[in-house]
Amino acid sequence: MKTKETIRKIVKTIFFIEIIKGLALTLKRLFSHAVTIQYPVERRKIAPGFRGQHALAKDVEGKAKCVGCGLCATICPSQCISVGREKGKVSRYEIDTLRCIFCGFCVEACPYGAIVLTENYEYSGYKKEDIYLTREKLLFNWDKFMAGKKGEEYFKRFWRPMSEDFETPSIQAIWRGRH
Amino acid sequence: MELVEKIFETRELNVNMGPQHPATHGVLRLVLDIDGETIVKVTPYVGYLHRGIEKLGESMSYFQALPLTDRMDYVSAMANNIGYCIAVERLFGIEVPERAKFIRTIVGEMARIANHLLWLATHALDIGAMTVFLYCFREREWILELFEMICGARLTVTYPRIGGVKNDVPAEFLDSLWKFTEEFPTRIPEYETLIDQNRIWLKRTKGIGVISAEEAVNWGLTGPTLRGSGVPYDIRKHMPYDAYDKVDFEVPIGTEGDTYDRYRCRMMEMRQSNNIIRQCIEKLPPGPIMAETPNFTLQPKDKMMPITHPTKEHAFYIIEKACKGCGMCLRACPAKAIFGEKKQPHKIKQDLCLGCATCYVTCKFKALTIVPGGKGFPEEKLAELAVPPDKVPEDIKKAQEYLVKHFEFIKRGPKVPQGDIYIATEVPKGELGFYFISDGSGKPYRMRVRAPSFVHAGVLPRLCVGHLVADVIANIGTIDIVLGECDR
């Protein structure tokens, strides 16, 4: 028995069995599909509700929903939102994107549903001003990324908490068994 | 002969390793005193990634400080969030719904798998096995994509909330996660094929950084770093939180207490985590995902006023008789639409009003009222229509109450009881403890974090002395530190 073990050990040592096993695994992988994505050419599918660049929501008539109450600026942990009002209108709404940590608390704090986080994550620029979001840019973002059904769905699914979170809703995901 | 010894006398060399070093897992700086290739003394210097998270937490409300915990251990942000939420919940006696507990357990274990995968990848890469790195990231990517599905972020998730979780999990998430749990146990042997028996891996890990059980306890090690030495201490087992008392799992332990045993422990732990996730998915009960605690959670949006009754259509009006002229609304109004002298009844300039209801929220004398559908009406007509706030229609009154609570929660902070508490949770790195002192204001008086990485970084001198310089890298890897958490 003992000699058998010793022989096995010697064979393993001489023939690099464990290393050959590892190399075989690598060789097997060679014939399977690649898992990497060639980024600028291919793009990942972004999940709905992704916390990307901000946008100011518009209502059905195309007017900005924001009334300028400043709750978003109050709750923002990194204090990157500043709101200005003049003559009963929101004159200034600025987000310093470089400070933003994309926690999404502004969306949750807003009782009017006026701010959203879009699925856009490609907004690099050469100057600070390029990524500094003004009110016009934010409203433009809504038209570009969230207009139509997408915006409606966003508020339905990701503008939380809703009252159904505190009760048992009729449709709720539970384990449906193996497929 | 004496002369020769004097000339060729070995002198200890003082070498800086880090803070910019790819294998120190961040910005850890080690000052090594080496005699040839042998380590004589190691002095770790921490603090290069200090951002003052504990102090920042004291200047924010309990709700606001949650994203800070993402930035501590950014490799397993979900586990940090859960630890923070549990500490705050226990401090204020909030009972979390069953479904939220199960969801938290699922995401917590997913974070554990993601963390151990990254640990294995980088640890193996440091020692010299690069292929494992690529395989581990393939599975980690899957978990991060699942995180993105439920909360919209891959790394800094901010998913749990005080009193529950942010979103309910969709059915596709459960299906995809189940598929992951079916596939993952077949992937672990792949990593093991690559390194488990590999002679280089064995030479680099066996007998390196040995620490006995007694010593490990004395050094304050926790998590897999402690369990590798054979101490079966796991907070999930000993002081169960969330749904850990409702699932079966084992706590894998090692025997030798060396780098290889700690590696085996973490590999077994990934299998156990996989089991826990499967059990939780099967047992996931229907029910609410947020606890009803108006002082700590945000109000339901669909019961709140701007949604039920758009404020832009209504007019706000100050009843002259009731107004004491305290100036609260005047100061609070963001649009500066309220005018008036001190102790004289104030007036709202209707054309300046934004309709945000801030004034209504601040008024304590029931002087501010709402005129349904009164936007654009002249002053006289509003005076005619205005009724005291407790006589406005019932549905508007109720919707406004919710709005008032929402405003108060965000602007003034919640009303909280006093007290202090220390709660520890088992994060992938070890025991993450939060210590809070609440003085009754909406912000913690003191927030202290017991970070496992900090304690583990302290044991490095004990592990490294007597070994070779190359083994320092193996030892940094085996204690699994992230400097974001170490320095806070």
Would you state the pLDDT for residue B389? Answer: 67
- Say if residues B332 and B348 touch (Cβ distance below 8 Å): no
| C-alpha–C-alpha distance, residues A39 and B382, integer Å | 60
Per-domain boundaries in chain B: 53-291+421-486, 301-411
- Say if residues B447 and B436 touch (Cβ distance below 8 Å): yes
Nearest to B403 among A75, A77, A111 (CB): A111
Q: Which of B265, B281, B282, B284 is nearest to B112 (CA)?
A: B265
- Sort B138 into a burial class: Cβ within 10 Å, 0-12 / 13-18 / 19+: middle
Residue of A nearest to B338 (CA): A88
Residue of B nearest to A107 (CA): B301
- Sort B276 into a burial class: Cβ within 10 Å, 0-12 / 13-18 / 19+: buried
Q: Report the CATH number of the B301-411 domain.
A: 3.30.70.20
* Domain A54-161: which CATH number of 3.90.1570.10, 3.30.70.3270, 3.40.640.10, 3.30.750.210: 3.30.70.3270
Q: How far is CA B384 from CA B106, B366, B373, B407, in A?
A: 58, 17, 14, 29
Q: Which of B429, B435, B411, B417 is nearest to B484 (CA)?
A: B429
Place of tokens 């189940």: B178
B215 phi, psi to nearest 5 deg? -65, -40
Token pair for B286: 């229907």
Nearest to B411 among A74, A112, A175 (CB): A74
What global pTM score does this model have?
A: 0.87
CB contact under 8 A, B351 and A47: no
Q: Which of B368, B371, B367, B375 is nearest to B384 (CA)?
A: B371
DSSP state of B452: H
Token pair for A130: 């390029």
Amino acid at B151: C
pLDDT (tens digit, 9 = 90+) per residue, B207-252?
888 888 898 999 989 988 898 888 888 888 888 888 888 899 889 9
Neighbours of B137 (CB within 10 A): 16
Does the domain spanning B53-291+421-486 belong to CATH 1.10.645.10? yes
ipTM of the complex: 0.88
**Three-class DSSP category at A54:** strand
pLDDT (tens digit, 9 = 90+) per residue, B11-63?
788 888 878 777 777 788 889 888 888 888 899 898 888 988 999 888 888 88
Would you state the pLDDT for residue B113? Answer: 92
Chain B residues in contact with A9 by the CB 8 A cut-off are none
Assess whether pLDDT exceeds 60 at residue B262.
Answer: yes
Assess whether pLDDT exceeds 80 at residue B387.
Answer: no
Nearest to A47 among B148, B194, B307 (CB): B148
Chain A residues in contact with B300 by the CB 8 A cut-off are 161-163, 165-166
B252 phi, psi to nearest 5 deg? -70, 135
Would you state the pLDDT for residue B473? Answer: 87
- Say if residues A112 and A33 touch (Cβ distance below 8 Å): no
| C-alpha–C-alpha distance, residues A177 and B13, integer Å | 63
CB contact under 8 A, A111 and B302: no
- Say if residues B150 and B167 touch (Cβ distance below 8 Å): yes
Q: Nearest 5°: CA angle at A156, between A152 and A159?
A: 110
CB contact under 8 A, A109 and B292: no
In sequence order, what are the residues at sequence separation of 6 or more whose Cβ sits closer than 8 angstroms to the Cβ of residue B401? none
Cross-strand partners of B316: B370
